[in-house]
Structure 1
């Protein structure tokens, strides 16, 4: 804590988030070109594109969990993110229903921030290394829950009961019905466990003064983008669509 009571700032976290937000804008630009405007791209629709997409969401969610302990306004932040997520769902449903977003990443981050409030006291009693390992293990075990099984990617450990997927009421938790679909779907399972992994990762790093010193400095332009990542996230798709439509008009 500084003499004025302000919490220390870790510029490297903002810098990493800034790099990630730029990567996300580029990825969504490719998404628009391929999925909306029909540009063929085998690498994007294949494994390289999937790894790119996963690298973005893993980084964002892990960082958000790390930064949870650095925030003082968990309820306000959580409700803001849930509200922004709900607004995006409504807008996409009304304006572009073929690209509707239900339970997207903002909804996940908001709910995760709120869920950690009652869990914080319990989690503080768990050694950071044990919590980090446990959270990552649970994330790996539940990675395929929305596909109907326990397991990680191609590894299927066991199928889950079909009754869990009988209704979309449990889609937010990770149990969507066969008819459910969303272009940006991040349910609590498995992603809340990755958020918790970030929480424990910060608990581990904060024990080292050397680690905190290295996290203190960042790259200023990227840090600026990282600090304004929510605004960029909300604005980037309309801007991208406007640019692509304008270029299309100019190109005839």
Structure 2
């Protein structure tokens, strides 16, 4: 497929594509509201009847899948994905240490920041070997694999009537939770192992690299929403501090 003409309705971005900041910002706001409901129900014991499956599961997925997709997409904009990955992994380690010491809820082991960091590291290594995922067919294949392996952490493979149980022996080793094979005693307050969630990240990588040489529609480049853009540009620090601030606010309000 040939790239659209530079004189056409598409063009390569100069600087940030603000729509991505806005999408990330919207997901951050959604995440804060989700965790507010979570804290009210599971930590403070408040009855919020509607905060239950399936709405709870769909809401959670809409947030995390968007984070993974956009983070993968950003690989095509980053000049140093290796450094980017190490920054995420350092934050993930700090979150694990803080949640272990605070003991308010289960420690966050291999949460979404870990997943983004590890997936970015894998992509950085693949990029150096010229094996990085790219293109829409690759993205479609990764999306199919993501859906097929979505149940792997719960010992299932497949979709709907085609699900099969995976061998219990695969989950016996306590050191494979990061991969998606948690042992029976494993617990985490936020769990996003590489299988399946790095595959959703890979979808973003492949799509982003398809767009990179072609550019984006001018309408996409012109899209603006300043408040959400600001939130999106500060997504990582907001992620780090939002739960302590929510818990402190609930304590001050006497909930």
| TM-score (normalised: structure 2) | 0.89
CA distance in 2: counterparts of 1:41 and 1:178, whole angstroms: 30
Count of residue correspondences:
241
1:241 corresponds to 2:247: yes
Q: Structure 2 unaligned segments of length 5 or more: list them.
A: 1-12
Give the Å deviation of 1:88. Answer: 0.9
CA distance in 1: counterparts of 2:85 and 2:161, whole angstroms: 33
1:135 maps to: 142
CA distance in 1: counterparts of 2:41 and 2:188, whole angstroms: 17
1:168 corresponds to 2:168: no
2:3 maps to: none
Give the Å deviation of 1:208. Answer: 4.5
2:74 maps to: 67
Q: Structure 1 unaligned segments of length 5 or more: list them.
A: 1-5
1:31-50 mapped onto 2 (5 Å cutoff): 31-50=38-57
2:93 maps to: 86
CA distance in 2: counterparts of 1:84 and 1:156, whole angstroms: 38
1:146 corresponds to 2:153: yes
CA distance in 1: counterparts of 2:106 and 2:250, whole angstroms: 16
Q: Is the 8 A contact 2:106 2:187 kept in 1?
A: no
Query: Deviations along 1:17-60, whole A, 9 cap, x unmatched?
Result: 01110000010111110010001223212211111111000100
Give the Å deviation of 1:207. Answer: 5.2
Q: Match of 2:253, SS? A: helix
1:51-62 mapped onto 2 (5 Å cutoff): 51-62=58-69
1:14 maps to: 21
1:3 maps to: none
Q: Is the 8 A contact 1:171 1:177 kept in 2?
A: yes
CA distance in 1: counterparts of 2:50 and 2:213, whole angstroms: 42
1:214 maps to: 220
Q: Which has the higher helix share?
A: 1
Mean Cα displacement is larger for which, 114-123 or 194-203?
Answer: 114-123
2:194 maps to: 188
